[in-house]
Amino acid sequence: MQKNTRGSLIWLRLTRFTHQSNLLSNDFLKKFDLTSAQFDVLMQISTYEPITQSELAEKVTVTQGGISRMLTRLEKEGLIERKQDWKTKTISLTKKGREKLDHAFEAQLAFQSSFFDECLSKEEQKILYTLMSRVQKNSEKKKMQTR
């Protein structure tokens, strides 16, 4: 077996961290009756509303089929509403959805920040943010090249 490259080791660490972070967030968000994926979807809707389902699927880490099922569930719970405007269906938060998101937002933000605040200095966090932004932009460029 070939020796891993530094890039592949970084990717593995990021993947493992993301997985562990999502598991911990799911446990943390139970008290708000949300999963980390639902929180992400509600955040994206709140930020970009009204948003189409395909635009939303581009922004979150849920598959197209998974997003459809999740939106159906969120709609049944009264957290979102879908409106048909000719051929386009858009998604927005309801008052109940906005209240649920507002209730969970500060706590989830503090919880996620604690992963970094507890082990990295402010300067290290700035450096990590800059580096991860550069890597993300490169991955977005690669995605555009494959289309």
* Mean pLDDT value across residues 31-54: 94
Where in the sequence is the domain holding 14, given as residue range(s)? 6-118
Domain assignment present for residue 138? The answer is: no
In the prediction, which pLDDT does 53 show? 87
* Mean pLDDT value across residues 47-70: 87
Question: Nearest CA to 25 among 105, 100, 125, 108?
Answer: 108
Q: Which residues contact 57 (CB under 8 A, 6 or more apart)?
A: 63, 64, 67
In the prediction, which pLDDT does 4 show? 81
Domain assignment present for residue 139? The answer is: no
Domain assignment present for residue 97? The answer is: yes
Summarize pLDDT for 125-145 with one digit per residue, the tens.
999 999 999 999 998 888 788
CA distance 21 to 133: 19
Report which residue type is found at 143.
K
In the prediction, which pLDDT does 68 show? 87
In the prediction, which pLDDT does 1 show? 55
Query: 């906005």: which residue's tokens?
Result: 98
In the prediction, which pLDDT does 75 show? 96
Report which residue type is found at 101.
L
Domain assignment present for residue 127? The answer is: no
Strands of 80-85's sheet, edge to edge? 51-52, 88-93, 80-85
Residue 147 has pLDDT above 80, yes or no: no
Phi and psi based region of residue 86 (left: phi greater than 0; alpha: psi -120 to 50; beta: remaining) = left
Domain assignment present for residue 20? The answer is: yes
* Mean pLDDT value across residues 9-14: 94
At 113, which CATH number? 1.10.10.10
* Mean pLDDT value across residues 90-94: 95
Domain assignment present for residue 46? The answer is: yes
Domain assignment present for residue 11? The answer is: yes
In the prediction, which pLDDT does 12 show? 94
Q: How many structural domains is the chain composed of? A: 1
Report which residue type is found at 63.
T
Domain assignment present for residue 109? The answer is: yes
